[in-house]
Amino acid sequence: MAATVRDVILESGIPVNPLYGPEDLAGINPAGDIGRPGEFPFTRGIHPLMYRARPWTMRQYAGFGTPAETNARFKFLIEHGQNALNVAFDLPTQMGLDSDDPLAEGEVGRVGMAVDSLADMEVAFDGIPIDKISVSLTINAVAAPLMAMYFAVAEKRGLPLAQVRGTAQNDILKEYIGRGAWVFPVEHGLRLIGDTVEFCARQAPKYYPVSVCGYHIRESGANPVQEIAYAFCIARAYLAEGLRRGLAVDDFAERLSFNFDIFGNLFEQVAKFRAARRLWARLLREEFGAQRPGSQQMKMIAGGGGGGLTIEQPENNIIRGAYYALISALSGAQTMALCSYDEAYTIPSEKAALLSLRTMQLLVEEMGLCDTADPLGGSYYVEWLTSELERRMVAEMQRVDSEMGGMVQAVRSGAVQREVAHQAWRYEQGLQAGAIPKVGVNRYRVEEAQPAVELHEYRPEQAEESIRRLKAVRAGRDPAAVDAALAQVGQAAANGQNVMPAMLEAVRAYATLGEITRALKSVFGEFQEPVQL
């Protein structure tokens, strides 16, 4: 009696055969579609030797409470071998609210660092060699003033703007789709992206002003194909905005990067990134006419997906995290920000953050992940799956254009938000029914008390300290200089000028984030979320 062969369908909707062979690669051109690492279309990686020449950057996500507490965590991670920083901001900061704003009550310092003014950024980076360590600011709606604060810190250190390295997430379109931490209407949010891109292209050419964040789209429910397709549609909108301002594509495309998610099927995730690199290279060369290899290369941070972690049996997340790091390495990521096992509960503890850092270091030092470029290249299954995922990504991008009116209109109308919400519902239905296996959740459950996890408790004294510092800044600054600088921010916004020069003057005068945001709101208004059906 023949054995029953179960059906396997990946989350992207792709059926998987029990076996793949040469016949499955009949439509693939090895030279044109796969190539060599460091060569167009970069399927196998953007550098010829990949990690053999330089291991991935380790950039753990960190930030909580006051700037002084965050500074201590930064130094702890650097002391233990981390070579870049990824800054978490609290929700009031993400929304452009000062710590003493009534709307900020109960949230100051809870899920990230509270930043009210340049004085806070100075404390956060005190003793941090920002000329040697690249810093990523995970901030979106109010990225412009936070970038200005970071630039002002560099300026005070004597570091020329042209030499400042780092990244701002600064991806507002995905906020409307995913996290919901938006402030301004879509057209004005896009305009601020354009201002930062233009400013950096002309004055801070080593800085990455935008990291397009498919990560949060995936975490909100999108499948792997949608994650890449929607991220690339967003990136196209940002590229179009840069071109509209008179920039040549090769003047700024090289400084767009991506933040992607990892959880789920190992081979689907690896093939997803190989397909994405190839698609991005072709998109930049064929649609936008990019000539420089750097403009055609998809540079990415990856290494974890909080959505894949579970509250049930949290130690299982240590194992999941190790596989996420493995996937990231096999995928050719430039940077890893590995999620910590306790993130289903809380901000990562010092112990959990260190364990994630050690996981990445083990892959570099002990497991051979840096020995050769694209070790899965040439696998019949991986190459077939790479091409199938690329085909589906292209089809989804075309659907955004033809059925939703392009990404900006799709966001404005809520069409893409509906797609992600429906996909999230389908995924949850699969979990509930057991069709999507999740160990500890719908497989191998243990009905007993969960082991203790160290929680990051909210401490009111953190908010009190932030408010005290804020009051001290207001008392010690020049009110006339602040008022004049804020007026310039409002005028630049109203006149269609690039707001970044005025932002820099405002933060130098120690205008607060809330004051700058209000100056913009007085011109732009606020976004009203479309009703979802």
Q: What is the pLDDT of residues 259-314, one digit of tens each?
A: 999 999 999 999 999 999 999 999 999 999 999 999 999 999 997 888 899 999 99
Spans of the chain, pLDDT less than 50: none
Of the candidates 111, 108, 223, the residue with the CA atom closest to the CA atom of residue 465: 108
Q: What's the pLDDT score for residue 274?
A: 98
Output the CA torsion sign for 178, 179, 180, 185: negative
User: pLDDT tens digits for 247-258?
Assistant: 999 999 999 999
Q: What's the pLDDT score for residue 342?
A: 92
User: How far, in Å, CA of 410 to CA of 460, rounded?
Assistant: 40
Q: What's the pLDDT score for residue 4?
A: 75
Phi, psi of 256 (to 5 degrees): -95, 135
The DSSP 8-state label assigned to residue 62 in this structure reads: E
User: How far, in Å, CA of 24 to CA of 512, rounded?
Assistant: 59
Q: What's the pLDDT score for residue 531?
A: 62
Q: What's the pLDDT score for residue 458?
A: 80
Q: What's the pLDDT score for residue 452?
A: 73
Q: What's the pLDDT score for residue 532?
A: 56
Q: What's the pLDDT score for residue 2?
A: 58
CATH of domain 36-433: 3.20.20.240
User: How far, in Å, CA of 405 to CA of 423, rounded?
Assistant: 20
Q: What's the pLDDT score for residue 37?
A: 98
User: How far, in Å, CA of 150 to CA of 61, rounded?
Assistant: 17
User: How far, in Å, CA of 282 to CA of 47, rounded?
Assistant: 17
User: How far, in Å, CA of 446 to CA of 440, rounded?
Assistant: 7
User: How far, in Å, CA of 327 to CA of 305, rounded?
Assistant: 11
Q: What's the pLDDT score for residue 224?
A: 98
User: How far, in Å, CA of 259 to CA of 130, rounded?
Assistant: 21
User: How far, in Å, CA of 234 to CA of 504, rounded?
Assistant: 27
User: How far, in Å, CA of 177 to CA of 227, rounded?
Assistant: 11
Tell me the angle at which helices 224-244 and 186-203 cross, rounded to the nearest 10 degrees: 70
